[in-house]
Structure 1
Amino acid sequence: MTNSKWIGAALASALLVTGGAVGVLAPSSNVSAAAVKTTAVQEGSTTWSINGTPVALSTINSGGYKLYSLSQVAGELGAGLVLGSNGFQLNDSKGLHTVQIQAGVKSYQVDGEAQQFTVAPVVHNNKTYVELTKLVTALGGELEADTSSILSFARPVGQFDTLHWSADGSLIANQSDAESTLLYKFSQTPGNFDLFSSNSSAVDYAVSADHEWGAFSDETGLLQLINLSSGVVTPLGKDTSVKTDIVWSNDGKTIYFVQGDKQEKLAQISVETGAVKAVLEDKVENKSELRVSADGKTAVYIVNITGTAKNDADSTEDSLTVDYSKAGEQLFKLDLGTKDAKPVALTTALDNKLYPEILSNGTVAYLSADPEGKTANTLKIIAADGTSTAVTLSAEATWSTGVNGGLVVSGLTADGSTVIYSVANGAAPVELYRTAEDVSEVSVSKDGSRLAVVSDGKVLLIQSGKAVQLTN
């Protein structure tokens, strides 16, 4: 659907509405008829895709130049058009740009700055025609001649990261190369976006299961909630301890996190009251990658085990050694339904462990990586009895996340292509998307039906295996 068409109120006697467009009956009063009178004008039309919808735009060929109906283009872009004593004034629908144009005059103004048409606007059969590219860009739009496509608003330019989906199907991304924090919210239509937030602490956040809310810790340690519809941020509770690896319960009533300067605790906070409660205080440091099962009964996390210091009975400096034989990352499981439950180690191997997830059947999945990089990454599943099996993919796994009780996994093929798979419990992987371009980040919508990726710093929306570019 195209943007809503609206026309500003002005000089009703000078405007004629026909078929949803605005026809101009006369040029501005200070331009003589001779200045805009033309001969040998050929009428026609050219079809452009405007915001994804094909539209036949009225044209004339005048003096070797193709000009487009000012009123029709303005209407299709949702811009306001007013005819006054000094010519035409146009305003884009977001109120960001003001354009002043006079028939028969090459000079025009964009936000108060002088610009030049290649050929002056022409009046033909009581309608004004102008250069298309300069009109579209003056109103803040974007035009691609190669694909005959126009967007009402130009896609933002820059490097982007940190993708999150909201419940209404919008995609939120951070412009990482901006001078200050700029979080944009994109719809599924290119060029349709708004500034979502400029809160520097809210660049990354944990998303609730219903995708209505995000949660993050600010610079003081206070937990903050961000409404993913409005961008409004509100504090939760008064606790200012260090909080990392934030994760929501499936019902949205509780938020879990790793707590403490040394990431030595697991804790939870009530979304309703802000009350903080300890979950695990075993004094084991370097916890991370906390996950909680959908039923709220189980937690899984990683502990980074460092080297063990040893020395002789006299504790001399020369005798001090560090044993790294057992250093590495290990997965632990905690029963949240049992009081004073002790963590249970799920792994003993010294591989690096990334992106743990608790699947709907109770198994635990994670990405296994060789610390020395001598062997390829593998996606592993740990069954209830502790046995581990690898998932066979036609690519080396690089990232995974839990979706609807299963997994979405991305990987690199031998030729450098990126492939994204859906992996349901016990089922063979299903390919969702493949590209020869580098992919640095992947995000999955609430229902798992849509993907978004960051490729070369640009945000791409993936639908039915096809990519739509949302940024430039």
Structure 2
Amino acid sequence: MSMKKALVVSMVATVVGTSVVSAVSAAPAVKPAAVPAQVQISMLTINGSTIPVHSIVKNGETLVSLRDVIKAIGAQAEVHSGTTTIKLNDHTVILKNSSQQIVVDGVKSNLAQPVTIIAGTSYVALRPLVSGLGGTIGKRGGVLEISTVPLLEEAENPRFAGAGKLIVSKSDENGRTDYLVDTASGKYELLLTTNGGSDLVVSPSGDKAAYTNAEGAVYVLDLKTQASKLITSDNSIKPELVWSADGSAIYFLQGDKGSVIAKLNLADGAIVKVVEDKVDYKENLNVSADGKNFIYTVTTLGTVTSDTTNIDEDNVTIDFSSNQQQIFAYNTDNEKPEAVKLTATTDDKVFVWSADGQKAYYVSVPSTDEKATLLSVDSSQKTAKVFADYDVEQAILLNGMLYVLAAQDDSNSVIYSIDTATGKQTKLYTVSSDVSSISVGGSQIAIVENGRVLVGVGDSWRAVTR
């Protein structure tokens, strides 16, 4: 190729190249086609149940299928011309397809992402939807937990009734109302309304509860059918009911002084006196599994004296220094059964428990400012410390394990389990000092904190009342 031809070719190439670049630069910028959001399945815990929900991720935010969530929470919904109106728990949420606006109870606010439509399904951010309907969102073990169930207010005295169920009570001037609460969702249902009746005492199997009415008649409530069955119309005062280990009978203290321990057979309603030791003011009745050994406390009253030198004046004094509460044992298998006094100390004795009638566990509350401790005492009247690390506030004995609530400091309390066979102590939880009591059923633990009942789930607590 000649030098001149080569120069011409080079110039042409330069012109063509320059023209192409200029043309590209002058043309409007073309955005790459948007990649459709990938629909996936997310597992959410909604009102206690694990539910698969269709979801997408858009601009780093997860949006969920509006249809799936509405169905899972049981909300009412109406769709008209692309606008969805959702109603739940006296709240109303309005969403419009492709709109970035949400209206909650008439108040407008903006969403980070607009309501997105994929294959005819609307997707929306979960948190503003749930909060707009009065619900809450938490996270446990990497799984989102959503609750939209209205919780029972101002309930007290939680008692486990089988797996995943609690009995709680509310009292007012008209009497007491008992409810059965689902510990997973917080849903509750009415069990019983009574005026002057005793607390519901749950059976060992957890499917029944016994109670007395104001006249002393004993009923057994089936917690599944919620039907009550009259066992006996005997109207003697029955201050305490205790189920037998096999659930076939109920023991109770009888009389206004609690002098007698009686046994009520559930099959025929027959009542038999099993302990009549002439010892008045029994409390905290514990019955061994074989029904032969009994542990209870007895409170001695103050001494009353009067000035007999002046009969015109009502000069009566009461010496409370002799007030004491002691623990007694009674074995019906003995040749000559009699009440055996296990303790003689002047400390207050509360939360008294025994499984076999041979050894009792109790919280010793001194009259001084010293901390309360958990002690045991056996049939030889020998006491031993079981837990003394912190100021003990409550103790529960269940299936060979002691559960202790104790004040660690001004801000925190602790919950321990103690194996009665080995003495091994395990710290289960550190909780707020506002926790006033605990309840235990199987592997479940509930606490009462500032009037709310919360149930342990892993390392956290779920409120089941408010």
What range describes the TM-score normalised by the shorter chain of this pair? 0.7 to 0.9
Q: Which residue of 1 aligns with 2:55?
A: 57
- Tell me the equivalent position of 2:285: 290
Q: Which moved more, 1:198-207 or 1:453-462?
A: 198-207
Q: 1 or 2, which has the higher strand percentage?
A: 2
- Residue ranges of structure 2 left out of the alignment (5+ in a row): 1-33
**Residues 180 and 324 of structure 1, relative CA distance in 2, 3 Å threshold:** closer
The aligned residue for residue 241 of structure 1 is 236
2:431 aligned with 1:433, yes or no?
A: no
* Distance verdict in 2 for CA 1:471–1:274, change over 3 Å: same
- Report the CA distance shift for 1:100/1:384 in structure 2 as closer, same or farther (over 3 A): closer
Q: 1:60-100: per-residue Cα shift (whole Å, max 9, x none)? A: 78xxx9975422332444557676799767687xxx88979
Alignment CA distance shift 1:365-1:242 (3 Å): same
1:216 aligns to what? 211
Q: 1:442 aligns with which of 428, 431, 438?
A: 438
Going from structure 1 to structure 2, the CA distance change for 1:286 and 1:78 (only over 3 Å counts) comes to same
**1:71 and 2:50 correspond:** no
Which of 301, 309, 321 is residue 304 of structure 2 equivalent to?
Answer: 309
Q: Quote the residue 1:277 is aligned against.
A: 272
Q: 1:290 touches 1:299 (CA, 8 Å); kept in 2?
A: yes
TM-score, normalised relative to structure 2? 0.74
Instruction: Indicate the percent of aligned positions where both proteins have the same amino acid.
Output: 27
3-state SS, counterpart of residue 71 of structure 1: helix
CA gap of 1:164–1:339, structure 2 versus 1, over 3 A, is farther
TM-superposition CA deviations, 1:246-278 (whole Å, max 9, x none): 111111111111222333332221111122222
Q: Give the aligned partner of residue 327 of structure 2.
A: 331
In the alignment, the residues of structure 1 paired with residue 115 and residue 450 of structure 2 have an alpha-carbon distance, to the nearest angstrom, of: 43
Check conservation: 2:329, 2:340, Cα contact below 8 A.
yes
CA radius of gyration, larger in: 2
**Alignment correspondent of 2:188:** 194
Instruction: Give the distance between the partners of 1:374 and 1:98, measured in 2 at CA.
Output: 51
1:254 matched to 2:249 = yes
1:377 match: 372
CA RMSD of aligned residues (A): 4.3
Superimposed CA distance per residue, residues 130-162 of structure 1 (whole angstroms, 9 cap, x where no aligned partner): 575564357664346999945253351633321
The aligned runs of 1:4-403 (5 Å cut-off) are 49-51=44-46, 57-58=55-56, 69-77=65-73, 103=96, 115=106, 118=109, 124=117, 126-129=120-123, 132=126, 135-136=129-130, 141-143=135-137, 149=144, 151-154=146-149, 156=151, 158-174=153-169, 183-189=178-184, 191-200=185-194, 204-310=199-305, 316=311, 321-337=317-333, 341-360=337-356, 362-370=358-366, 372-403=367-398
1:29 maps to: none
For 1:55 and 1:213, locate their aligned partners in 2 and report how far apart those are by CA, in whole Å: 37
Query: Are 2:451 and 1:457 equivalent residues in the alignment?
Result: yes
- After TM superposition, give the deviation of residue 463 of structure 1 in Å: 4.4
The letter for the 2-side match of 1:153 is T
Give 1:207 shift. 1.9
Q: 1:286 is matched by which residue type in structure 2?
A: Y
SS at match of 2:163: coil
Show structure 1 runs of 5+ residues with no match.
Answer: 1-39
Cα shift readout 1:165-194 (whole Å, capped 9, x = no counterpart): 1223323333569998664444453x3523
Distance (Å, rounded) in 2 between the aligned partners of 1:68 and 1:422:
42
